[in-house]
Amino acid sequence: MSLQSIKYSRGSLEILDQLLLPVQSKYVAVRGVEDGWKVINKMQVRGAPAIAIVGCLSLAVEIHPEEFGSKKSLRQEVEGKLNYLVSARPTAVNMKIAADELLVLANDLTKDETIDVGEMKQRFLSATEAMLKKDIADNRAIGAHGAKAILQRVAETSGAPAGAGVRVLTHCNTGSLATAGYGTALGVVRQLAELGKLEHVYCTETRPYNQGARLTAYELVHEKFPATLVLDSMVAALLRAKNVAAVVVGADRVAANGDTANKIGTYQIAVVAKHHDVPFYVAAPLTSIDLAIPGGDHIIIEERPDREMTHVGEHRIAAPGINCWNPAFDVTPAALITGIITERGVFKPAELKEAINKLLDS
Ligand X SMILES: CSC[C@H]1O[C@H](OP(=O)(O)O)[C@H](O)[C@@H]1O
Query: Minimum distance from CB of 319 to ligand X (Å)?
Result: 25
Q: Is 252 labeled as catalytic in the residue annotation?
A: yes
Report the residue number, 184 or 204, with the smaller CB distance to ligand X: 184
Q: Which is nearer to ligand X, 62 or 252 (CB)?
A: 252
- Nearer CB in complex with ligand X: 227/269: 269
Query: Nearest 10 degrees: CA dihedral of 41, 44, 45, 46?
Result: 60
Task: Answer whether the bond into residue 320 is a cis peptide, omega within 30°.
Answer: no
Contact residues for ligand X, defined by CB under 6 A: 46-49, 172, 174, 178-179, 184, 211, 249-252, 262-263, 328
State the minimum distance, in angstroms, from the CB of residue 201 to ligand X. 15
Residue nearest ligand X (C-beta atom): 250
Strand partners, 198: 166
The one catalytic residue in 17, 135, 232, 252 is 252
* CA dist 305 → 99, 234, 266, 285, 302 (Å): 26, 25, 20, 28, 10
CB of 317 to ligand X, least distance (A): 20
Cα–Cα distance, 170 to 172 (Å, whole number): 7
Contact 196, 165 (CB under 8 A): yes
Based on CB atoms, which residue is closest to ligand X, 104 or 312?
A: 312
Minimum distance of ligand X from residue 87's CB (angstroms): 15
Cα–Cα distance measured from residue 353 to residue 81, given in angstroms and rounded to the nearest whole number:
30
End-to-end CA, the chain: 42
CB of 190 to ligand X, least distance (A): 13
Edge-to-edge order in the sheet of strand 12-16: 6-9, 12-16, 27-29
Choice between 145 and 263, CB closer to ligand X? 263
By annotation, the residues acting in catalysis are: 252
